[in-house]
Amino acid sequence: MVKRFEQPPHRVEVSVISLADMDFAHRLVAIRKERNLTQQVLADRVGIHVSNVRRYEAGTSQPTLDVLRNLALALNISADSLLFEPDERGPEDPGLRLRLEALDQLDPEELAGVRALIEGALLRHQARQLAG
């Protein structure tokens, strides 16, 4: 007598993980793979041994500042993108964040005016803090 077991249909689950939900090691892996680079190619571009890339991606080692800079250059991203979650840097106020991002649309003269205005407001705030 042969028993037959019915197998349920195979189900494949796909999960999408944003860079915001990752630590440095996972962000490094995700960005490297997004760029279709092997660990060896990344190591060669950065000027380090492939075992270092493996350790960074495993989370067992952290790069020096020089290596971090070279990783960012090799991956064509900012070092902040490797280190910080998107909302971890910048103003907490979402409205202010959007306005600051819109500053990229200004011409250089307008941008210089905005910089001067911000610096003046910060200096006034610091002076009040020191006086008070």
pTM of the full structure: 0.58
Q: SS3 of 43, please? A: helix
- Please give the sequence-ordered ranges of beta strands (E in DSSP) within 30-105, or none if there are none: none
DSSP single-letter state for residue 48: S
Question: According to the model, what pLDDT value does residue 32 have?
Answer: 96
From first to last of the 132 residues of the chain, give the pLDDT tens digit. Answer: 554 545 555 554 444 444 545 789 999 999 999 999 999 999 999 999 999 999 999 999 999 999 999 999 999 998 988 998 877 777 778 888 888 888 989 999 999 999 999 999 999 999 999 997
Residue 73: predicted pLDDT: 95
Would you list the DSSP string of 6-43? PPPPP--------GGG--HHHHHHHHHHHTT--HHHHH
Cα gap 25→22, rounded to integer Å: 8
Q: Enter the tokens of residue 84.
A: 């910080």
